[in-house]
Amino acid sequence: MMTVDITPYLTQLQRKQRTRFMMNVVSRETQKPSIFEVSMYPSEQVIIIVVEDKTEEEQTKRLSAIGATAGMVGHDIRNPLQAIVGDIYLLKEYLPSMPESETKKEFIESLDNIETNVNYISKIVADLQDYSRTINLEYSSFNLKEWITNVLQSVSRQNNAAISVNIDPSFTITSDRAIIRRVLTNLIINGIQTMPTGGKLTLSGYRKDNNVLIIVEDTGIGIPEDIKPKLFSPMLTTKAKGQGLGLAVVKRLVEALKGNIEFESQVGKGTKFSITLPCKR
């Protein structure tokens, strides 16, 4: 049961005026916040109260505001990030000339940590922009296995996950390679993060009928049943670290390519994401 203090609105009600306010509530069962709009309509003898769940609407507004802000500041954030990346590269080039010592070892570890966090910040900015921006497609033909290999080289791996690519070396597709990169990067990172103690990540791709199928499968912790219906919802995350936009971005980008993404998952055994894209000649 929930008690609402309407004292601040009594004056309006006494004047027979409609009043409205927003109310934030946290579920006792799930500990998740919800937003409700409460409207009160006074009549001669009763007060009619209408309660509407505005959680999704307010979340959409919030995301739009975040997206607009990200679009404006993204360029300004990326400039210093690129400068830091450049400095890290130069420092790593200098390292071989340094004599071996404990200080050198600590220096290398610090540089690796800086690089990891820079990449993480860059991904947050990219996810925010990809979720909110207008998507303009640029199609070209490219070798899928070579492109996935290129993507893997840019993904940071901090566990013992083994990654295999099961794609015919001659398999070529026509799509937007930048969007395919973003989709695969997010799915690969997501898969690696679900295997904190190591595991196997497998990427497959082939042609079926008039479609291209790309599959990303991990042997990670799996997805709980209560999370599955909301997996592609923005701001949903089961991780301690992350803003929960990665999979929402993946879905939006795949749909921009007129494709579809589905998943199968079992807790303790892993998850398989299947992307279906229409063939383009």
Q: Which two tokens stand for residue 178?
A: 């930048």
Residue 30 has a pLDDT of 60
- Residue 50's pLDDT band, with cuts at 50, 70 and 90, is confident
Whole-structure pTM value: 0.64
Q: What phi, psi does 199 have (nearest 5°)?
A: 165, -155
- Residue 3's pLDDT band, with cuts at 50, 70 and 90, is low
Return all residues near 161 (Cβ < 8 A) that are at least 6 apart.
Answer: 191, 192, 195, 198, 199, 200, 201, 218
User: What is the mean pLDDT of the segment spanning 75-82?
Assistant: 78
Residue 114, SS3 per DSSP: helix
